[in-house]
Chain A
Amino acid sequence: MSEPGAAALSVRGLRKAYKDVVAVDGLDLEVRPGECFGLLGPNGAGKTTTVEICEGLTSADSGDVVVLGRRWGRDDRELRQLLGISLQETQFSEKLTVLETVRLFRSFYARGPEPEAVIRMVQLDEKSSGRVGQLSGGQKQRLALACALVGAPELLFLDEPTTGLDPQSRRQLWELIDEFRAAGRSILLTTHYMEEAERLCDRVAVMDHGKVIALGTPRELIASLEAEHVLEFAVGEGAAVDAATLRAIEGVCSAARRDGTWQLQVTELHRAMPALLAELRREGAQLTELRTHSPTLEDVFVSLTGRHLRDD
């Protein structure tokens, strides 16, 4: 760790444009030592550009980036030894074995665990002498993690570490990331899975169009909705239901209609639900769908942008 208390990563006024597209538009963020910080946002929000600037792989148009108290362009050699990086969509050489690949990466670092130990850590020991080309998607992501961990990094960058993985592989990777954080190292990860951010991150920055639109712990962000429940329903065609009427119902904080479904943020479900049903009966509206759930980061994103994190 560099100076105690100093930020592991500090970004001020970061800006980056590609031709006519502004990818990052005046972004500030700070990753504290020992924390797992998440950048949550839809595809194209500027997460990868932000991370690659912090990794020293892309240059910024303007802004200030301090990584572990050091700067790109001045302390590159030192920084490369201190960072662990997992990029989106890296394909390792398929003809090499897992052990050969990790050994190669280990040889670049002045210190770190033994390759065999890292492979055990990411639970690939059974595949150690197997070719990379034979690994499943989850195993390849764990190999990428092993290559990021092999230099015993102070700060770990993970760009969409679980995209495209099945739920079981995803949980397995989450456990590994938990263990790394338990060792006191810092992590910056990007994701467009809200459950991943909720599960892994101490703090989350919600990104959209190159800006941070909300920042806090997952709990704080969800609490900012001031709703205990989210109630979703749909009614048959021809029914006249309007937002003002719904908002007037006791316990309803907000109401919005998206893709034919009404979404209400509700503080007291036990009062709001009967009142809603009574209101719909009075309007003569036929209920076709009704469900409730506890609010998630997805709902935070929806309430901030009016859009979902993922289109699917």
Chain B
Amino acid sequence: MTDVAGHPPLTGRHRHPLAQLTLVRYLEFVREPEAVFWVFIFPVLLAAGLGIAFRSRPSERTAIAIPRSIPHAEHVAEALRRDDRLAVRVLDDSVATQALRIGDVALMLATGSGNKIEYRYDDRRPESRTARLIVDDALQRAAGRSDPIPVSDRHVSEPGSRYIDFVVPGLLGMNLMGSGIWGIGFAIVDARRKRLLKRLIATPMSRSQYLASFVLSRLTWLVLEVGLLLGFAVLVFGVPVRGSLLELTVICLLSALSFASIGLLLASRARTVEGVSGLMNLVMLPMWILSGVFFSSSRFPDVIQPLIRALPLTAVINALRATMLQGAPFQGVALELAIITVWLVVSFPLALRMFRWK
């Protein structure tokens, strides 16, 4: 060891601590391939899967069964096959009964009392009730019924009303919540468990800059995270973005800040990763179910609707849906933005107050 190495020359302020802290957050994140997968790849795969599963099939046929035992079975089948809304199967009686029972067919014909044709179907299945109407219509027409009022059909299918259009804003909201809460919660509790937090506050580091670095790095990832999922949905499925991009950006920024603060709050005291995971699941699980990610939250009873609307994820998803699908202006999502802001201004100061550094 030389004297030069032992007593190196001193220099002044190096790089800005907030920039260094944010850089460190970034490096820690990209060096965790699992995290990159869950934040960026998984939501896109989920959107792709849902988009394919619930794609609108143009002329989906309703399956019905005709037992061989009914009179003129083949003749009846012939008449029904002329209607292209139906997929007609002529089956042995027992097979037909079985097919109806397991839902393979929506309806089966049978011989009722007095040699009438009997429709057998489950009255609670919408598909079966539709089948009943189509089959009856087709049979009556084949038998020579004529309609007194002339009508014609025109089919419309617009982006914005499909399931994929409904679910993409939901996935965006869910993703904003998940990466905000998980990304911050785990990192902070891990640093506390390793006593790195304690070591950091033994330096002149500013505590608010430390917490701000988490929020800042979240905003950086937000651009990629939202851009990737939204880009995919728009390009592949033609999901509409009718509102202004500015409005969409404001909603996403505010949501990310709000969820990041909730993440800070949840991580403010927990000493173990297990402890904070439990807490995060406790907070997020009800929102996954209630906030209308995959299905409309209006399905829940009216009494709990005000509660559901006050949840941050509900507000985020409603705002995203209104902007993307209906092109609602800022005033249209004012209530939602207010709810998101309240969550932010309540949870961030609370997190700072409660935060356990040692």
Q: How far is the CA of A27 from the CA of B45 in the complex (A)?
A: 63
A183 and B7: CB pair below 8 A? yes
With A104-B20, A112-B10 already in contact, the answer to whether A121 and B5 are too (CB < 8 A) is yes
Q: Which residues of A contact B102 (CB under 8 A)?
A: none
Q: Which residues of A contact B148 (CB under 8 A)?
A: none
Q: Which residues of A contact B201 (CB under 8 A)?
A: 57
A112 and B11: CB pair below 8 A? yes
Interface centre among B10, B23, B28, B203 (most CB of A within 10 A): B203
Q: Quick one: which of B192-240 are within 8 Å of A by CB?
A: 194-196, 198-199, 201-205
Q: Quick one: which of A161-206 are within 8 Å of B by CB?
A: 175, 179, 182-183
A121 and B205: CB pair below 8 A? no
Partner of B204, one of A55, A81, A152: A81
B150 within 8 A of A: no
Q: How far is the CA of A175 from the CA of B6 in the complex (A)?
A: 11
Q: How far is the CA of A168 from the CA of B73 in the complex (A)?
A: 94
Interface centre among B20, B202, B358 (most CB of A within 10 A): B202
A136 within 8 A of B: no
Q: Which residues of A contact B1 (CB under 8 A)?
A: 121, 175, 179
B12 and A110: CB pair below 8 A? yes
B75 within 8 A of A: no
B15 and A103: CB pair below 8 A? yes
With A90-B196, A91-B196, A106-B14 already in contact, the answer to whether A80 and B202 are too (CB < 8 A) is yes
Q: Which residues of B contact A281 (CB under 8 A)?
A: none
With A87-B195, A90-B196, A179-B1 already in contact, the answer to whether A117 and B8 are too (CB < 8 A) is yes
Q: Which residues of A contact B196 (CB under 8 A)?
A: 90-93
B34 within 8 A of A: no
Partner of B14, one of A80, A90, A107: A107
A113 within 8 A of B: yes
Q: Which residues of A contact B15 (CB under 8 A)?
A: 103, 106-107
B335 within 8 A of A: no
Q: Which residues of B contact A95 (CB under 8 A)?
A: 27-28, 31-32
A111 and B8: CB pair below 8 A? no
Q: Which residues of B contact A183 (CB under 8 A)?
A: 6-7
A219 within 8 A of B: no
B199 and A80: CB pair below 8 A? no
B27 and A96: CB pair below 8 A? yes
Tier of interface size on chain A: 35 or more
Interface size on B, residues (CB 8 A): 35
A107 and B17: CB pair below 8 A? yes
Minimal beta-carbon separation of A184 from chain B (angstroms):
10
A246 within 8 A of B: no
B21 within 8 A of A: yes
Interface centre among A90, A108, A179 (most CB of B within 10 A): A108
A118 within 8 A of B: yes
CB closest residue in chain A, given B357? A57
Q: How far is the CA of A108 from the CA of B191 in the complex (A)?
A: 18
Q: Which residues of A contact B21 (CB under 8 A)?
A: 104, 107
With A100-B24, A100-B27, A175-B1 already in contact, the answer to whether A105 and B11 are too (CB < 8 A) is no
Minimal beta-carbon separation of A119 from chain B (angstroms):
10
A114 within 8 A of B: yes
Q: How far is the CA of A111 from the CA of B10 in the complex (A)?
A: 6
Q: How far is the CA of A175 from the CA of B5 in the complex (A)?
A: 13
Minimal beta-carbon separation of B224 from chain A (angstroms):
19
B195 and A93: CB pair below 8 A? no
Interface centre among A93, A110, A114, A147 (most CB of B within 10 A): A93
Q: How far is the CA of A120 from the CA of B195 in the complex (A)?
A: 26
Minimal beta-carbon separation of B2 from chain A (angstroms):
10
CB closest residue in chain B, given A179? B6
CB closest residue in chain B, given A92? B196
Interface centre among B17, B191, B358 (most CB of A within 10 A): B17
CB closest residue in chain A, given B29? A95
B9 within 8 A of A: yes
A87 and B10: CB pair below 8 A? no
A87 and B8: CB pair below 8 A? no
With A95-B31, A100-B24 already in contact, the answer to whether A113 and B195 are too (CB < 8 A) is no
Partner of B198, one of A87, A105, A107: A87
Q: How far is the CA of A175 from the CA of B196 in the complex (A)?
A: 26
Q: List the interface of chain B (C-beta within 8 A of A).
A: 1, 5-17, 19-21, 23-24, 27-28, 31-32, 191, 194-196, 198-199, 201-205, 358
The 10 closest A-B pairs by CB, nearest first: A117-B8, A91-B194, A80-B204, A107-B20, A113-B8, A95-B31, A85-B202, A90-B199, A107-B17, A108-B203
- Selected A-B contacts with CB under 8 Å, 26 pairs: A57-B358, A80-B202, A80-B204, A81-B204, A85-B202, A87-B199, A90-B194, A91-B196, A92-B194, A92-B196, A100-B24, A107-B14, A107-B15, A108-B203, A108-B204, A109-B204, A110-B13, A110-B204, A111-B10, A111-B12, A113-B10, A118-B8, A120-B8, A121-B1, A183-B6, A183-B7
Add 13 more A-B contacts to A90-B199, A91-B194, A105-B203 (CB < 8 A).
Answer: A77-B204, A80-B203, A85-B202, A87-B198, A93-B24, A104-B24, A108-B203, A109-B14, A113-B9, A113-B11, A114-B11, A120-B8, A179-B1
Q: List the interface of chain A (C-beta within 8 A of B).
A: 55-57, 77, 80-81, 83, 85, 87, 89-93, 95-96, 100, 103-115, 117-118, 120-121, 147, 151-152, 175, 179, 182-183
